[in-house]
Structure 1
Amino acid sequence: MKIGKPQLMREINMKQVREILQVNKSLTKPELAKLSGLSVVTVNALVTKLVNQGEVYQLTESSMTGGRPASRFSYNFDYQFVLAICLYQKEVTDVADFTVCNLAGEVKAHWSVEFQLVTKETISELIQSAKKEYSAIQQVAIGMPGVEIAGKINMSDFVLMKDVFLRSYLMETCQLPVIIENDVNSVLLGHCHTQRLQGETVVALYYPDNYPPGSAVYLNDQIVHGVNGLVGEINLLPLSVHWHQVAEEEGDLTMNICQTIITMMIAYDPHQIVIYGKRPQAAMLPVIEHQLTDLFGQVSVPKIAFLQSFNTDYLAGVKSLAIQVLENKFHSEESR
């Protein structure tokens, strides 16, 4: 193997040791060396650094042979916390679900706040309050209906969030790193994360009760955003049955979904398509599959599933996004 710069090798080695410790309850340094393929000397230096910064616990257990006790090491998933915020609307009320979790995704606290109209100031105050209560919070991730373009919120369902530079405002007022992701993107990310999907192309379609539909695309193990973050705006598709027409007739909704699926198949040729919302029902599936078979013939059509796990996948996606960003930060800091 070609040897790169020393700091790059340290970063790669640290990432490997960290990941091994995360999937094993506890290990000795020789066990770590064997599993990683690194020398005991290298493992000793890396583990010492992790212990000193509180990311790894040093445990001591008695030797079975009565000899010198062996030191074992366990990953401290409570080393840092993330704050996941899921914004959505319930009838005429704006709602924010707050979840504090550790690096394993284990929930430490969860609460909801309802607003007449949510503002950047109220979100900032609530984040700062959470930070005081849980000082280990090091990353904030926010899921919300809308698109962030060049740092500004566009096409948001939240009236007072439109045209707001929300992320930069929260980072300045809360003194925490913040990432913002579209709600449907977050839901699809959560679905793929919980299902442990790798190497598959997956499309999500979401038909809310009172708003235009949205979609998301998962390709090469990541969400596709596009240059302007417009990949999911399927309400703008020039279909024969526009989403405004599907309010009354189930047949129109089925046709709209079918035409949208055809568009997604031509554009992305996905392995599977997941559909969220109260109105889309599994009873539509035979009609959709029949039309797809008529159009594409013997071509294998994607697996289509109608899911009712929007809120669960939403939280899972925002949590996993926050943890991923924080872990990437570990690696970038180690490479300096």
Structure 2
Amino acid sequence: MTTKKNLIRQTNLNRVLSLLYQHQKLYSSEIVEATKISMVTINSLVKELVDDGFLFEHPNKPREIGRPATQYEFNYDRKHSLLFVFREENKQLYVDIFTIDLKGERLAKQTRPFFDVSPSAFQLLIANHLKSASTIASLGFSIPAKISEGMITSSWYEKMDHWPIHQLIEEVTDLPYHIQNDAHLFTIGHCLLKQLPLSETIVGIYYPQNSMPGVTLLAKSSLIEGHDSLAGEAKYFPMFLDQGSPETPGELAENLSSLIATYNALIAPDKFVLAIDPDIKPLVEESLAQNLYLAKQPNSPLFIYLDDLETSIVLGLHWLIYHHTPFDLACY
């Protein structure tokens, strides 16, 4: 019976947390109205959340109508996360390091080259940033790689292949962490940013210039991963195995057009989310308009161009860290 009571109380605590997280400030009577939980229980729950530092209490707060009442405010600074975003620029790997609060607001950012692409350099990077980040409660990693059962199976120019990535992180810190492919995070983050339903079938393609494309397959709010998380790994298509990364913007546009026609036939998505350099968008649109295969296919997807890479990746990592918690961005 005690276990059942504890479970019910934790469920109610999460409901109150989620409600305040979404609305930021609410009076106790508004919490009761929204949750249908009794005032006595709500008073007990919010007291615990105030004591834990998740809520601020503003007693006797004046109201527009009625007598003053207690108002509660969510504390977005209660937990911070440290995000490591590995990205390519001119065939060189860089890492952007963000500190974010529970709302996903960027509190700090650093950028540095990651010349030595090695497990020891990766661990040193984490350790050095944790030394000066005492408020960090969790970590998030976006990497140009696919991961299966703690092992990198396919990565940027094969530089990280076969890294035991989970082991490497756990040797440095015991903080909770989440790690995911960059194309997946760009796609999910942009859908959240534009309030596009993750329940649809979506193909995301992240295609930096002079690089290989990363592809995300999303259906019914779940990623389609495949064996060893290699589903959609476009660099293994015959065209890429033969010719490698594109040398010109025109070649990239043609490659992207061919990829889209292929995935449109295989997946028949509602939408394509395309993360490309804005300068080549006209070339891509022209190539898509001239693609004879697309014109013959019955599925007519919507094309959405990702216009804010940084915001999208931070949102994607926030979603990854707090998915299925009271701070889940996809819940509202």
TM-score, normalised by the number of residues in structure 2: 0.84
Equivalent position of 1:98 in the other structure:
97
Change in 2 beyond 3 A, CA 1:328/1:164: farther
CA distance in 2, matches of 1:128, 1:207: 31
CA distance in 2, matches of 1:242, 1:315: 34
Post-superposition Cα deviations, 1:168-201, rounded to whole Å, max 9, x if no partner, equal 2212312212221111111111111211222322
Deviation at 1:141, TM superposition (A): 0.9
The answer to whether 1:84 aligns with 2:94 is: no
Equivalent position of 1:207 in the other structure:
207
Equivalent position of 1:57 in the other structure:
56
Letter in 2 for 1:295: K
CA distance in 2, matches of 1:91, 1:240: 19
Deviation at 1:233, TM superposition (A): 0.4
Any residues of structure 2 matched to 1:216-295 within 5 Å, and which?
A: 216-238=216-238, 244=244, 246-247=246-247, 250=250, 253-278=252-277, 280-289=280-289, 291-292=292-293, 294-295=295-296
CA distance in 1, matches of 2:253, 2:70: 62
SS in 2 for 1:27: strand
SS in 1 for 2:167: helix
Any residues of structure 2 matched to 1:99-248 within 5 Å, and which?
A: 99-157=98-156, 161-198=160-197, 199-238=199-238, 244=244, 246-247=246-247
CA distance in 1, matches of 2:307, 2:27: 44
Deviation at 1:80, TM superposition (A): 0.6
- Conservation of the 8 A alpha-carbon contact between 1:292 and 1:301: no
Deviation at 1:75, TM superposition (A): 0.9
- The alignment yields a C-alpha RMSD, in angstroms, of 3.1
Letter in 2 for 1:244: G
CA distance in 1, matches of 2:201, 2:53: 38
CA distance in 1, matches of 2:28, 2:16: 10
- Conservation of the 8 A alpha-carbon contact between 2:254 and 2:284: no
Equivalent position of 2:321 in the other structure:
322
Deviation at 1:211, TM superposition (A): 2.7
SS in 2 for 1:161: coil
- Conservation of the 8 A alpha-carbon contact between 2:145 and 2:160: no
Deviation at 1:32, TM superposition (A): 0.7
Letter in 2 for 1:150: E
Change in 2 beyond 3 A, CA 1:113/1:283: closer
Post-superposition Cα deviations, 1:86-131, rounded to whole Å, max 9, x if no partner, equal 0123335431111011110011111112232133333333433433
Sequence identity of aligned pairs in percent?
24
How many residue pairs get aligned? The number is 322
Change in 2 beyond 3 A, CA 1:16/1:239: same
Change in 2 beyond 3 A, CA 1:241/1:169: closer
Deviation at 1:239, TM superposition (A): 5.4
SS in 2 for 1:58: strand
Letter in 2 for 1:25: Q
Change in 2 beyond 3 A, CA 1:71/1:128: farther
Deviation at 1:303, TM superposition (A): 1.0
SS in 2 for 1:173: coil
CA distance in 1, matches of 2:245, 2:319: 36
CA distance in 2, matches of 1:166, 1:210: 26
Identify which range, 194-203 or 142-151, moves more after superposition: 194-203
Change in 2 beyond 3 A, CA 1:242/1:312: farther
Post-superposition Cα deviations, 1:6-52, rounded to whole Å, max 9, x if no partner, equal 44433432222112111223223222111111111221222122112
Deviation at 1:76, TM superposition (A): 0.8
Change in 2 beyond 3 A, CA 1:19/1:249: closer
- Conservation of the 8 A alpha-carbon contact between 1:84 and 1:322: no
CA distance in 2, matches of 1:293, 1:92: 31
- Conservation of the 8 A alpha-carbon contact between 1:86 and 1:318: no
Identify which range, 141-150 or 45-54, moves more after superposition: 45-54
Change in 2 beyond 3 A, CA 1:160/1:40: same
- Conservation of the 8 A alpha-carbon contact between 2:18 and 2:326: no
- Conservation of the 8 A alpha-carbon contact between 1:57 and 1:74: yes
TM-score, normalised by the number of residues in structure 1: 0.83
CA distance in 2, matches of 1:174, 1:91: 32
- Conservation of the 8 A alpha-carbon contact between 1:124 and 1:174: no
CA distance in 2, matches of 1:236, 1:272: 23
* Unmatched tracts of structure 1, length 5 or more: 330-336
Letter in 2 for 1:81: H
SS in 1 for 2:185: helix
